[in-house]
Amino acid sequence: MRCHLRCRPDLRPGLKSAGGRRSSFRAASKFLIALTTPHKIEATKSAIRKGRKTIYEASFEHEGVFVKVDILNKGKKGWNIYEVKNSTKLDDVYIKDTALQYYVLKGAGIKLDRAYVVLLNKAYIKKGALEIKKLFISEDVTDRVLGQQKFVGEQIPKLKAMLAAKMPDIPLGKYCEKPYLCDFKGHCWKDLPEYSVISLRGKGIDKYKLYESGIVHLADVPAESLNKDQRLQLEAFLKKKKIIDKKAIREFISTLWYPLYFLDFETFESPIPIYDKARPTHKIPFQYSLHYIKRKGGKVYHSEYLARPGTDHRKELLKKLLAEIPEKACVLAYKKSVEKSALNLLAEQFPRFRSAIEKITDNLRDLMVPFQNRAFYHYKMKGAYSIKAVLPVIDPTLSYSELEIANGNMAMVEYARMNSSKDPAEIEEIRRSLIKYCTLDTLAMVRLLDKLQTMSK
Ligand code: SF4
């Protein structure tokens, strides 16, 4: 469903004047209204007239609100709304979406019976052909949707009045990113200084409240209002300094041993499982990079795997990985939960390899720990500790910015493109980019550990 009333007051309370950026909400709304498609409404009416029992993207308008219902199905007592979500959990936002559809359809004169949110069934495991009835779960949300009808009816005139008025002057807020990333973030946030109050990380003080109170620059945030981590971020920024806790770094290094393997997976997630033994939510690794050092001070070696397009590569990947990592090796990952969960899922899908996989997961250590614990912190990390935040300050000679693929999401998209391509030259080009990206992830780990070892002395 798409609704042109994108910025809803229930998600952004208080359209009041504040010292923040001016919202582009009105411009956004006008743009989205222009997308209202009368021919789709006509096509829906025509399908109903012809006696169709199931209509996809059934389109309606009422009180100037345009909605598209994912699936509209005619039952014995009336039409049923099915709102389909790429999710395994029922979220309150989905109820609001469905409530608005229900309101518009009822207003447009459609005799409605039930409203459902269709979710992916995370318990479903593919075995042979897809079993569509098992893959999805339909949650009957009719009562909750009915309970929201008064609220929806009250909001529409308010939002229309807002659309007719001048651009509302509202501060930036959590709503710029949740429940959905706003398309206008690039515009509204562009004038924020690099070190703004919004760059404060962690769950301490509400940075948006500070922003609303008129504090824009990080330097103007009162230190006494912050929690320990946020205060450290502020103090490091004010003094433009880095923090090196040698003892904590040494403690971390003492948990590692040789041979030492640096592992990074790239994974994809398909809502509809492609392979047998996979569930809708499974993250499937399609690539890994492995740097390794056999003994302290020894040479650094590299190995990699990237699945060939159009194959169920899981066993091949697993066998190669298990053959490459010795049983007693220390395995380092950055944010190890990703590698651990991918390995655990492979163990579930290929129980024959479970004990070998468990040896790796038992020996898995996390290079993120010293950065997360602030054993090392640099003010340019802006409170973050992802590898992309840490690498530029530890080793500026290595950079993701020059690469065609610069993050895991892009890698996933490019892998999908490689799988659908028929052009050998294009496939080869994508392969090269994927290998470059994943290799940098583990090479970065090698350098980070090297620098930590130097710092600890
Ligand atoms: S980025 Fe934030 S302030 Fe700007 S239009 Fe979106 S929600 Fe409104």
pLDDT tens string 157-188: 999 998 888 877 788 999 999 888 999 899 99
**Amino acid (one-letter) located at 219:** A
Residue 203 vs residue 408, higher pLDDT: 408
**Which residue's C-alpha comes closest to atom 2 of ligand 1?**
176
Of the residues 148, 164, 180, which one is the last residue of a structural domain?
Answer: 164
Residue of 256 and 402 predicted with greater confidence: 256
Specify the amino acid at residue 438.
C
pLDDT (average), residues 429-437: 95
Q: Which of 99, 130, 164 is the last residue of a domain?
A: 164
> Could you report the per-residue pLDDT of 326-338, keeping only the tens digit for each?
999 999 999 999 9
The average pLDDT across 235-251 equals 96
| Amino acid letter, residue 281 | T
**Residue 134 and residue 252 in one domain:** no
Domain assignment present for 44: yes
- pLDDT at 168 (0 to 100): 72
Q: Return the closest-CA partner of residue 324 out of 359, 368, 299, 275.
A: 359
Ligand 1 atom at shortest distance from the alpha carbon of 170: 3
Atom of ligand 1 nearest to the CA of 25: 5
Ligand 1: which of 175, 177, 212 to mutate, most ligand atoms within 8 Å of CB? 175
Own/partner pairs for 108-111, CB < 8 Å, 24+ apart?
A: 108/60, 108/61, 108/62, 110/60, 110/78, 110/79, 111/78, 111/79
Cβ neighbours of residue 382 under 8 Å, at least 6 residues apart?
195, 199, 201, 233, 389
Report CA(404)–ligand 1 centroid distance (Å): 29
SS3 call for 442: helix
**pLDDT at res. 7:** 41
Is pLDDT of 28 > 70?
Answer: no
Phi–psi pair at 5, nearest 5 degrees: -90, 65
Q: How far is the CA of 215 from the centre of ligand 1 (A)?
A: 18
Please say if the pLDDT value at position 33 is more than 70: no
Q: Which residues of 236-245 are buried (b: 16+ CB within 10 A; e: fewer)?
A: bbeeeeeeeb
Give the mutation target among 184, 187, 212 for probing the ligand 1 site: most ligand atoms within 8 A of CB. Answer: 184
Amino acid 158 reads: K
User: Where does a domain end: 99, 129, 164?
Assistant: 164
Ligand 1 shell residues, CB under 6 Å: 7, 23-25, 28, 170, 172, 175-176, 182, 184-185, 188
Burial class (CB in 10 A: 0-12, 13-18, 19+), 262: buried
How buried is residue 327: exposed, middle or buried, by Cβ count under 10 Å (0-12/13-18/19+)? exposed
Mean pLDDT of 356-380: 97
Whether residue 417 is found in the same domain as residue 275? yes
Query: 103 lies in a domain?
Result: yes
Tally of CB atoms within 10 A around 263: 25
Same domain, 414 and 270: yes
pLDDT band (50, 70, 90) for residue 22: very low
- pLDDT higher than 50, residue 259: yes
Per-residue confidence (pLDDT) for residue 16, from 0 to 100: 26
**Which tokens belong to 96?**
């609001």
What the block records as the tokens of 163 is: 């659309």
pTM of the model: 0.83
* Tens-digit pLDDT profile for residues 69-119: 999 999 999 999 999 999 999 999 999 999 999 999 999 999 999 999 999
CA of 211 to the centre of ligand 1 (A): 14
The pLDDT value given to residue 4? 29
Q: Whose CA is nearest to atom 8 of ligand 1?
A: 23
Give me the sign of the Cα torsion angle 322, 349, 408, 196: negative
Q: Residue 114 belongs to what domain range?
A: 25-164
Per-residue pLDDT at 115: 98
420: confidence class by pLDDT, cuts 50, 70, 90: very high
* CATH number for position 452: 3.30.420
Indicate if 129 and 271 belong to the same structural domain: no
- Mean pLDDT score across all residues of the chain: 90
Residue 105 counted as domain residue? yes
Asked if 263 and 377 sit in the same domain, the reply is: yes
% of the chain at pLDDT higher than 90:
80
Q: Hey, what are 37's tokens?
A: 């498609």
The pick from 4, 6, 7, 198 for probing ligand 1's pocket by mutation, whose C-beta has the most ligand atoms within 8 angstroms, reads: 7
Q: Predicted confidence band at 9 (pLDDT cuts at 50, 70, 90)? A: very low
